[in-house]
Structure 1
Amino acid sequence: MTEPRRTSTAPVVLAIAGLAATALGWFAIERLARLAEELAEAEGSAHSWHLIAWQGLVLAMLCLAGVALWLARRRDEALAGEAGLRAVLEAASNGVALIDGSCRIALVNARIEAMFGYHRDELLGRSIETLLPDAVGFLGARASADGPPILRPDLGAIRGVETKGRRKDGGTLPVDVSVGVVGQGGGAVAACILHDLSGRIREEARLREAYRALRFANDRLRGVVEGSGDMIAALDLNRRFIVLNDAYRRTFERLFGRPVEPGMRLDDALGHRPDDLARLRARWDRALQGERFQEVAEYPDADGAATHLELAFSPIRDDAGILLGAGQVIRDVTDRVESHEALRRNAAELAAVAASRATAYSALQDAYEELKRAESRLVQAEKLSALGQLIAGVAHEINNPLAFVGNDLAILQRDVTGLLRLIRLYREATPDLAATRPEVAAEIEELAEQMELDYAMEHLGGLTNRARDGLGRIRRIVRDLRDFARLDEGEMDEADLNAALASTVNIVAGLGRERDVAIESDLGELPPVTCSPGKINQVALNLLINAVDASPRGSTVTLRTRPDGPDGVAIEVIDRGEGIPEPVRNRIFDPFFTTKPVGQGTGLGLSISYGIVQDHGGRIDVESAPGEGSTFTVHLPLKPPARPRAARAAGRDGR
């Protein structure tokens, strides 16, 4: 709150003094002039005395001007001093109250208003007990039991009296009161300086609570440190131990032969072991420079036995990140290190044993894999042999009636041709017959219309021709089945590979039509190939069936043959399916591996095909990319090697 403007008394006093001095000066001038006139009349020289009078008048005026200037300067100094005093009081951080000898408030600053909630106009002239109910106890006394308080005559300076102040709203606040007295007796004035202790009391309460929390945390930390089985220590920046638990002290004394206590410097504790001191100082200095690290060190104890310790160092910082020291946690890992060493020795021994048996194990593994493949091929061969016998029997049974149908169809075609010639001759004789036998001619004409004789004569020859074509197709299918059924004929001989593959394409064509997948042949000119045609057909059949299964409806599967260098041929089966992912592509030739649903594949087709091709001294390559289809390429030599088994083993190892 701001103080209402008041007129200072100093200017009034100075003005009155100035008026009094002016009046006194005029009075002196007037008396001097009269005296000069009297002297002039007495001596008859009026002019000279008048001159003296005027000179005195000028001198008096100069004196009056000097007095006026002095009074104005004193007035300005008084005003400046009063303004400065008020500015100091208003800027003070403590409350200030001036009281007179009757303990009445004569002046307060803005801080008093803020502390007690009064406006200064409400306090001026009121007893200091308004603000300090217990003020009489240390400021003054009472003239009577119920009289107003007065300042004690012997009151001197008072400092640091803590009491309760009373606010305007009735609340209390703790204050520290200091008093200084100016003057004596009834003219004495006391300056009371009031410091609000509320903040300090709150801070003291906060500090007490923080101290209790700190003690609680320290007690808990001490309990954890002392109760830990690990060895714990901490150094300050001067390498002085500030934290040690019993485990650390015991281990330190056991290893270095000297006890250590909090407050000792590291150099003093290990001064008798300079080598150990140098090693420990190097580690502690890293931590004291802010590095966090962990390592395992070996120390011999007093008996010479090795002790393995896991040392963990970390810097200690305050909340502001300032480095205060470093901490160390040590764990005895001797048992663990010895166990690891024993395990390492055992592992080395086992590795030596395993290495000595590696060759035998590898050979056994190879034999086992070969046995599995042979078993798979045997099972498939037995199935194919049974299938071949079944196909051969079916083909034989079909061939018998097929021969009758063929013969009858030939006779039928011959007779139909003759009948057609006979009908044409009858039609040419119809006009003559109509003249001689009109009723017969009419009946013949009616019958010809009912039979649509013209249409029948035009298409009957085509019907018999198509029947003969269908019969020929059936014969070719039966022949292909019989050729394909000879899978157990494992003897190799020069063969026309294109002719053998053509029969396989014819067999798979039906599956392609069922799946709406076209099978396209692109057979290049090939030299004779020494092979087992039935087994190569089996390879082509497996690849074509897989290609049809992988192809979307409306697409095409291509079987292509071409020369493969001067000494070989290549068979390519190309589909436009989704492609084969890399993980699957690495396993497609493994026995029993299949991506088809249960019941639709055994996982043996590609494995057996791989073995057949290697038996011929060849190989199968796969090119595939997701979304771009797949190409299986069978590379066959014109003449297989003399030892296909060795070639197969080499191919398997390189697969």
Structure 2
Amino acid sequence: MEFCMTRQPTLRTALLWRFLLLALLPLVLIGLLTFRTVTHTITDSLEAKNLLLATSLAREVEETLREPQTVLRQLASVMLDYNMGRGTVVDGLLDNAVSNASYFEAILLVDPSGKVLHVGLPDSLADRRNGYLGMDLSQMEPVRRAGRTGQVLWSDTLLSPPGDHQYLCLVYPFGNRLLVGNLNIAYLGQLSNREHAESSLSFTILDHTGTVILHSRLMPEGPRVDLSRLKPVREGLAGHQGTFPFTWQGRDLVGTVVSIPTTGWLVLVSQDVDVAYAASFQVRNSFFIGCLLALGLALGVALAFSNRLVQPLRTLAREAQDIAIGDYQVGIAPQLHQETEELAASFRGMAAEINLRENELLESREHYLRLFNCGNDAVLVFELAEDGTPGRFIEVNDIACEALGFLRTELLAMRPRQVLNVFAEASEQADEVVSRGRRQGHVLFETDLITRTGERLPVELNVRFFDREGKATALAVARDIRERREAEQALRQSEKEHRLLAQQLRTLFDGIPDSLVLYDEQMRILRANRGAVELLCCSEQDLVGQCCHQILYDRRQPCDDCAVARALASGRLEMGQWERAEGRLLEVRAFPVVNDQGAVIRVIELAQDVTEKLRAQRETIRTGQLVAIGELAAGVAHEINNPINGIINYAQILANHAERGGDSPDLPNRIIKEGNRIAAIVSSLLNFSRSKKEEIMPVPLHEMVNDALTLMKTLLRKDGIEVDVRLPPELPPVAGRYQQLEQVLINLLSNARHALNSRYDGHHEEKRLEISALEHDDGMVRIMVWDHGVGIPEPLVERILNPFFTTKPAGEGTGLGLSISHGIIREHGGRIDFESKEGEYTRVLIDLPVYSRKDA
């Protein structure tokens, strides 16, 4: 006993110090490691979150800037498709685009040298148009680079000429020109309205120089702010992205910078350091507080543990009895001596093992019940009698109770024949299902569940058979197949509709009277309609898989001007003509079909017989010519009548002189002059009225204008109309058909005469018309016919080229003159425009191509 008393303090002290060492040392080591890991994790998470936010903002900026680019791309496409380069049509197009896109302050059309040709402005800034026109933008870096590289570029922030606000420039090159759109930075202001998860975050968009384009806490109209000296901005301008600390306006901040790929701008997401690393600071404080609490707790536990060393052994027996009656949670205190401690440890181990196994059984049952009830299918478990008849239910899941409308206790008291249609009545099918299932181990079939209300639910029943405690048992899993049946019905209906649609498309395909052929990328025929079969004199089976140049011309390569080959190469609509051996002329159009990547995979060729259409057009032109001849007839008759009277008078004078023996040597010359005058008039009239096929030839405008005036001068002189002709002597000839172009000019002179007579009854100093011409740099010659007549009402200007439309009173015009003239000018590759102000003037502008050798 004395030995024990001497050793007891030593044992207690040793256990106390060991406990403290073992408890606190791992805690401190793990805490330090956890603190360091958590701090780095929080920092990395913050940087990753800010980088993700900055990247998301960069994508939003790109999406926001895509709309102005789309507007300029559509404008460029329209100008290229309709060959717009000059005139008020371009100004109107640009004005309309600016009005529809409020973020544009102006849209400029710039030539390759950087000179502004046209400008589109909103109505509020229309007075600035003249200030833009002729402006030289060649020194602007985006304009110079876009013209050189052909790339779409964005400028840095620019200051408007008045200096009242900042704006951006978008430069879009097309053809040999540029579209420059001036955007108000306020357009990007919508991005500053976004709400962030943390109100302490702010974002900034900067240009290539580090100047602020948009700041979430600054107004877009504010002064320019240069942040190029900040470290995140310097790193971003150097091509790096990431998170960097910096100081701005006396505040310590941390910023994440990324680049916007399409513009080269930067997005900077910044936050106060205190706010950004608040979580890290909180973890640090929590760690130190936790260490102090752990130390105090360890001391307390150590003291309590030492006190428990001196508890009497009598508690061990009471605790063992508690374990015996099933109280496995009882705590057996540690003993002071080795023997009692070993006994206590045995009791503790026994109690823990029993408790563990019972807990495992409970957890296993709970896990089984969760699996049993967590699925979407109804599960029914029932026994089988010795004869195979389904017995009572022994288990059902919650889905089965819900689907059938019974409580679990009610369902467990029922039999399968009450809820499963297949077992509802004794039948060979039920016997066959049980027999086959017991033989194969499982069976799968469709049947119905019968609910409490008598409703039948279609299900797919998967039944597995097994032995349970020596009894045959079946586990039936019922899957609701109502949606599947509805989907199958919808699929059948969809297939039926698709077959009907395919038949309708085939009927439409064959119903088109023109030739319609579908080619693959190798120019092999895939489909041909009835019109193509009749045109090529082959059945569709003979055409499919063949190339048209092989069938028609026995060639290995496509024809030189094949529209299908050109459409495959260009990816655009191509047109051409095909003259058949029998003299029929077909107009061919090739429409490319592209895939998602933009590659041409099919071409649709439409060939239309235009022989009769061309013949009708020629007849229409001839009709207009006859109308003009009729109008000229009276004037020409009067013009011829004057020289004839002169010839008669001179002949009478000669006769009288001859009777008196006189001599008049100048009279024969006068007779010859008047006769030549008649011959010239008649020749001009015959040339104009003669119907003949003309090839494209050089047409001298001086000669054509003189011939037209020769036919019209009597009518113009009779009405007191003065004609002012201003044609430069060096004016080059145009490419065209002399007679048709003369007809157009006569028609315009006739319309001008009628307009002047409608405004002025008699002679007037303003009763005149002007004919002028000039050569453009684009290889076109512009002819202008200007009269000071009644003009054309603005609502009617767009309709004057329509067939049978006339502004003259009823009975004074056919409405064909300008329509025929428009067709002639269009066939010559030119264009005709009208400028008119009602009650003041009308000016007709005709652009025709200059003749060159290749036009011959």
**Larger RCO, structure (CA 8 Å, separation 6 or more):** 1
Higher Cα Rg: structure 1 or 2?
A: 1
**Range into which the TM-score falls when normalised by the shorter chain:** 0.3 to 0.5
* TM-score using structure 2 length: 0.31
